[in-house]
Chain A
Amino acid sequence: MKLYKNITRISVLLVLMLSVGACNSVLDEMPENTKFTEDIDYTISKNAILPLIGAYEQFYAKGWPNNPLMSVRGDDVNAGGLGDQQDFAETDLFNYNKDYWMYNGAMTDEMRVIFHAHSTMEQVQLYKDASGNPDADQYIAEAKVIRAWVLLFITRTWGSFFIPTSSDPSELLVAELYTKDEIMQHLSDQMDEAIPELLDLNPNMRTDIRGGVTRATALAIKAIANLELEKYQEVADATGQIISSNKFSLEPDFYELFKIPGKLNNENLLELQYSDFGQGEGDRKAYLYAFFGPQGWTPKIEGSQSGWGFWEPSLTWIKFMLDRNESIRLETSVLFTNRGISEIQKDANYATLPNWISNTTRSGDIVNDYPRAFFASGKHYLPSDQLTPGRKPYGSNKNFTCIRYAEVLLMYAEALTQGASGTAGSADEAVNEVRTRAKLTPLSGVSNQDVMDEKFAELAMEWGTRFFDMVRLKKYDVLSYEGRTFTEDLIFLPYPQAQVDQLSQLSNPPAN
């Protein structure tokens, strides 16, 4: 009987073994820690805003090389010296290398923002269809504006390009290229679609997403696109609408505009938001300002970190400002080193400099000499005493402004001096509003040259505006500065080789 029992045991074992074999269903278990898009409940109306926040997150998380690469080529700014990232410096010298990683890195990183903006539009549309969220159209319009801003800069930098239509990058494999003008027109049309859906507020008055896109943002992008198309009447109309809305004003203190008080300032139409949430440690969202900062300094708040020295205001621009007797904007835009000061003085015309020029900033930070560059950018500088106590990284908690009301005023004036008619006052009024803040005397009967000079003085080191202006006005001699030679064939950067290898259309782009 004992053995009989054993046999029973064996049988049980065999049955168990076979029953495990029957457990094929375990193979169909879902993976852990993953949320599949198909499981989202789109009927929850309040969640429609989540994909939009995602779009802002992607926009604010732009890679650090993008902005410098796309805006280094003007006569307002230099790349900092050699020694590291040579091909970035070569780009500033108009020697382009299609294989340089930063070209591919910047283009693809910008495109990432575009694909996510499309993804946001698609997701919000699903919420709209399922839940009928009344704000869905506004959210979609905001994503459109973010997409437009990014595509604007890709096209300004590389010329002919794709017009993406969905979040699926593989569509580009069969997509065609459009000329720069076609894309600018497309952006202008896109903004026309978005404008009626957007809130008519200063971004800082928004309560849902403070600092987000509003109608004025879309109008400003429309104005820039039309400026590129030299459709000055459209520029005057769009900018005039912003001016007449009376929702924006210039920050009286130009220096502080680029510091903490400039965050969500009345002057800003669009900015990348960063924060350390008022805490000396812990969570932090930040832009890599170190790239722009001086390589050596003695900060007022000991231990605050310095920068990398890659963004140097040009001697050309500094001398231009000295010629104009500018102090407010020059002081705000440039961090002087002693080596830089003596470099200016090497030119006999500038042997004597105004007394206020020194290597100590108004905020008390001392900028030391460093080999890479003579000067650093003041607009990308946050005084160490404005850092949240405890925070060390250069420029922590500082926002990155994309569009300022000053630029809107100057675009308006530019359009008028190009022959457009305006309804929001005269070109003189617009220019003088900007000059007054800079403590300069008002002008009357401003010429187009006056406006362009004002733009040079006001917007230097920001977003390559100077370069794109000079290219548009074909003032290639202006860009041929400090030993460089600029010609028409150098307007656009070459497409990155890595993309040409995949997208054969790029080897044969339409002429711009």
Chain B
Amino acid sequence: MPGSIVSSCAVHLFAFVPAKWKIVFAKLSKFLTKTPAMKKIFFLTCLLAMANVLWAQDISITGTVTSADDGSPVPGANVILVGTSTGTITNVDGQFTISAPADGTLEFRFVGLETTMVAISNQTVINVQMATSAQSMEEVVVIGYGTSKVKDLTSAIQTVKADDIAKAPVAQPMEGLQGKVAGMQVVSSGAPGATPTVRIRGIGSYPGSSNESPLYVVDGMFFNNIDFLNSSDIESISVLKDATAAAIYGVRAANGVVLITTKAGRINQKAQISYDGYYGVQVAQNVLKMANSEQFTNMAMESGSPADSMYILNAMQRYGRSTTNPNVPEPNTDWYKEILRSAQTQNHSLSLSGGGERASYSLGTSYTFQEGIMNMKNEYERFNLRSKVDYNATDWLTVGGNVLISNATTYAPQNGAWHTTYYAVPVMPVIDEQNVDAWPSQYASAEDLGYRGAKNPFAAMDYNENLTKSMKVNTNFYAKIDFIPRKLSFKSSYNQAFTNYNQRNVGLPYYISNASQREESTLSKTASTFNNIIWDNVLTYTNTFATNHNLVLMAGMSYRQESGQWLRAQGLNFPVDPEQAWYINLSETIPITGVGDGGSRQYGLSYFGRASYNYKYKYLVYATMRADGSSKYQEKWGYFPSIGLGWVLSEEGFLENSDAVSFMKLRASWGQLGNDKIQASDGATTTTVVNTAIDDVLTSGTLTSSTYSSLKWEVVEEINIGLTTRFLENRLSADMDYYNRKTNNAVIRVQVPMTGGTTMKNVGVIGNSGFEFLLAWDDQVGSDFSYHIGANLTTLKNEVLDLYGQQYIDGGQAEFRQRTMVGESLLAFFGYETNGVYQNADEIAADPIAVDNGLVPGDFRYKDQQAPGEEGHGVINDDDRVILGSYFPSLMYGVDFSLSWKNLDFSAQMIGQNGAKILNRKRGEIIWTNDGNMDADLAVNRWHGEGTSNIYPSSAGLRKGWNQKMSNYFVEDGSFFRIQNLQIAYNIRNWQISGAEMPHIRLSFTAQRPLTLFQYNGFSPEVANGVDRQTYPIPAIYTFGLTVNF
């Protein structure tokens, strides 16, 4: 009889709910049982509540919670009677009072501290010291739509804490994570304001459409990058790497998920004001040494090209001869030195956080300024304001709001100048007084010496300005209702992220020489706005049945709307002076073809759920499911399940009392993840408007396409097997994971015959697999000294498994071929294998290939890939090309070390990678610019006579088509080892002036990336896509930091 069940339910309910709730439920049951449907719901609710135990005699207990670290009180700690929903929170002084049964157990919880259990055993005063939870299994981590204790996880999640993130004095928070998370590759960019490239566990999509970056979830909102965040505003970052961790984010999860929680205040916390800042300089590192005038002249003379030697003569005529070597022109310009500068960087954050009995708050503002090391107006400035408020409106309702306003201004560098500088000839000065035609500055032009171009990078740097102003307003509001305290809750959150970009690209008029000039000033402006909305509704149920069965259920839905639009226009010949006149309105001409607009609007609707169960914290089961609906594709719905299993061996009898093993857990997971960063496809033929000149009149017509793509999201299937262990009282921790990810319907380009075009189809298969290891040792020696050593290591094998029957997909540029082939990495470098350099005439005469191709000593010998007798043997042609390596590192590692002695602490972090290849395209582009400069290594170590080199061709050879074929000579080793971060800090604690308590002060000195070791002949071994043409070099940063906690 439903009626009787309801009434018996009610009895149970009344036994444990607070008085107020008794009334609620009385009314509720009366109201709810009126209709059969409502009865059912109410019945279910009761069932969920029934497992609670009753208790008898209560005693009143008081006590103080302090930190084991420094004995300071811990306000805002949760004090909970185990097995019930009864609990309280410590006040500002860390004190609490609770009424509990004499035979109960109290649990003390606080984020960042080890959860502690104390049996009451009739005590009325219980004082607790809580230890810092460096390696704690009790630590609570943020997971998708909820939190979990580390010990309950079955998945691969790595968390990075605020202190660790704050160590790196970088403007982009993700850059600070470089080398810290196993399985995550971060490739920094040296350009101010540029976001680093982040890849989690390889890359499962065909590269190049920016579809490889992970999903960032900041306090519940989805982002493609987090350039708007200030490092010191981040409380923690959780990187969800495997399928069970990430699958709850369904179609957005395939590239991994980075969950970011920003700082919040705490209940019953004294107001804390803190200042955190640094100021420092950035210095170019490993500056590529270019051939000087003498070496360059030498190369030109040896080139056998009359033109090249003529240019040298011209330079001597125009600028005079060097006094030290009269055969060399007087100028000896080190162009990289000319375009580099040391640049300042600074960051200042001010925050206030705290809380009363019902509300907590956190307010903050920060200012970041970073100059670029390229000597032009190249800088990044960001000003942030944030506020986060949580309010326990009633004992069953919590509401909160979170607002972040970020204003940033970026003056982008002219990366082309890095490229021009490489070829800039050293026999020319920067300024040439004789170049009287040049204006506004008298920059020298290599054209005046006979060269094909001006080869002066200052034109690009001085007469261009690319400004982007961005404003982002990210808001988040939520209401959380506890239907049953600590057991059944419902949370509805509404997130809105609004972004406004104003871009202004200006080209100022100038003249250096014929090939380097701009007569009319050009101005183009783009205004774009993006507005993304996510509304989440999540129901969470937590309970323990029959003491040993622990269950958490979560169900939710999410509505998503992403829209954006942009408008662009151009003006020519606008008033150059003053800057306030840089408007299209004031331009003489507004070309029609410079006007364009665009927009997109996509909707998503998702339902998801999670069940997490364990028996005695020993056997763990964790399952998630997400159904994602999307308007982006013709197919609307995708389903993404995952399951994880865990076995905590240390809870078993044979390990339970082990001294050595503190914790050991075996984990395994499987799941499917989606990637909807795949471009939307038309799914039908489209018609576009084009225009052309008919009788000198711009006339419009239409083009109807005959091919189109019909796409859907990619699905990644991932298996993860892991082991989590803690040894020697948690001092040693070791984690290991094996992962295997397979993108089953990767979008690849399928060639359309005879059009040079392709259509995209979900037909490729791409695999990524490898191991991840994490090791850490933490120890405290005496009361003054503690230290930590940690290491992480990742292996990666990226492999194309199927290309829809195609033999290969060509990528890169024709002259610098990158080929995607089954069994190899994506976009692997593809070309000839050199086999030394012909040293003398005898070697030439002995090799029919050399004779046939008219080679001379100093030319490359290429490996004939066909064996004798095989077709094609004895000829070097395109059939002799092979895979030359991939730009993905096969091994990445990080090592960190820190120690703290009294008031002094010190930390060091080292990172490195192996196995990646870099295409040195700067050298390669001699194909097009055969009279430019080259790096000193090449100029000095060239072949110039028998035995001088077996690696580099002769100067004449460099200019010859035979030696310019894409070969392993251009593909270099990208391995590196780097000291990523060194920090030394002094803390001033507990000091007074005239009896007044003074704030805690921390002074620090940080060296970011002070040393990088590598073999590659370039500025930096960090090249995101492996092709180094105009990579912005990554500077070392030296800063002084100051933290003051009032």
Contact = CB atoms under 8 A, between A and B. Distances in A.
B517 interface: yes
A24 B605 contact: yes
A26 B481 CA distance: 29
B579 interface: no
A230 to B, nearest CB: 29
B492 A13 contact: yes
A316 B690 CA distance: 43
A282 B572 contact: yes
A101 B537 contact: no
A28 B683 CA distance: 13
A112 B27 contact: no
Contact of B701 (A10, A26, A53, A392): A53
B701 A57 contact: yes
A236 B450 CA distance: 52
Interface stretch (B226-234, B589-597, B612-620): B589-597
A10 B31 CA distance: 14
Interface in B679-703: 680, 682, 684-688, 690-703
Given A169-B754, A275-B693, A6 B687 contact: no
Interface in A137-152: none
Contacts of B685: 36-38
Nearest to A100: B814
Interface stretch (B55-63, B628-636, B658-666, B833-841): B628-636
Contact of A34 (B594, B686, B959): B686
B598 interface: yes
A28 B515 CA distance: 52
A273 B694 CA distance: 7
A202 B483 CA distance: 86
A375 interface: no
Contact of B703 (A98, A107, A119, A277): A119
A13 B604 CA distance: 20
A497 interface: yes
B511 interface: yes
Interface residues of B, number: 96
B714 to A, nearest CB: 19
Interface string B913-937: 0000000000000011010000000
A77 interface: no
Interface in B287-321: 305-307
A304 B930 CA distance: 24
B439 to A, nearest CB: 11
B878 A273 contact: no
Interface stretch (A78-86, A248-256, A452-460): A78-86
A37 B698 contact: no
A173 B593 CA distance: 37
Contacts of B71: none
A136 B1026 CA distance: 53
A323 interface: no
Contacts of A104: 756
Nearest to A369: B450
B704 interface: yes
B514 interface: yes
Contacts of A279: 589
A244 to B, nearest CB: 27
Contact of A303 (B305, B514, B629, B961): B514
Interface in A45-59: 49-58
Interface in B401-421: none
Contacts of B753: 169-170, 172-173, 499, 502-503
Contact of B591 (A49, A283, A306, A498): A283
A3 B27 contact: yes
B301 to A, nearest CB: 16
Given A209-B694, A278-B696, A51 B305 contact: no
A440 interface: no
Contacts of B599: 32-33
Contact of B695 (A36, A116, A211, A282): A211
A170 to B, nearest CB: 7
Nearest to B810: A498
B404 to A, nearest CB: 25
Interface in A14-31: 17, 20-21, 23-24, 26-29, 31
A302 B513 CA distance: 10
Interface in A85-138: 86-87, 97-99, 101, 104-105, 107-109, 111-112, 115-116, 118-119, 122-123
Interface string A281-308: 1110100000000011000001111100
Contact of A497 (B514, B559, B878): B878
Interface string A476-504: 00000000000000000000011101110
Interface in A254-277: 263-264, 273-275, 277
B588 interface: yes
Contacts of B763: none
B514 A305 contact: yes
B755 A169 contact: yes
Contacts of A32: 565, 598-601
- Pick from B437, B514, B573, B630 the residue with the most CB of A within 10 Å: B514
A473 interface: no
A278 B698 CA distance: 11
B535 interface: yes
B751 interface: yes
Contacts of A60: 692-693
B701 A101 contact: no
A174 B482 CA distance: 67
A343 interface: no
Interface residues of A, number: 99
A210 interface: yes
B163 to A, nearest CB: 39
- Pick from B307, B452, B753, B928 the residue with the most CB of A within 10 Å: B753
Nearest to B28: A7
- Pick from B565, B605, B964 the residue with the most CB of A within 10 Å: B605
A358 B753 CA distance: 49
A193 interface: no
B878 A27 contact: no
Nearest to B513: A303
Given A167-B706, A173-B753, A211-B694, A6 B600 contact: no
A389 to B, nearest CB: 10
A275 B691 CA distance: 12
B605 A111 contact: no
Contacts of B557: 17, 20-21
A84 B927 contact: yes
B966 to A, nearest CB: 11
Contacts of B694: 53, 56, 209-212, 273
A35 interface: yes
- Pick from A26, A40, A108, A173 the residue with the most CB of B within 10 Å: A26
B572 A29 contact: no
A172 B754 contact: yes
Nearest to B600: A32
B23 interface: yes
Interface string B704-717: 11110000000000
A255 B682 CA distance: 50
B871 interface: no
B1040 interface: no
5 contacts: A36-B685, A111-B754, A277-B698, A281-B573, A501-B807
Given A3-B27, A162-B754, 18 more contacts: A4-B31, A29-B602, A29-B603, A32-B599, A51-B704, A53-B699, A53-B701, A60-B693, A83-B959, A84-B927, A101-B814, A111-B756, A119-B706, A123-B704, A279-B589, A281-B589, A281-B591, A501-B807
Closest 4 CB pairs of A and B: A53-B701, A108-B756, A101-B814, A371-B307
Interface of B: 20, 23-24, 27-28, 31, 305-307, 397, 437, 450, 452, 479, 481, 490, 492, 511, 514-515, 517, 519-520, 535, 537, 557, 559, 561, 565, 572-573, 588-594, 597-605, 607, 629-631, 636, 680, 682, 684-688, 690-707, 751-757, 807, 810, 814-815, 877-878, 927-928, 930, 959, 961, 964
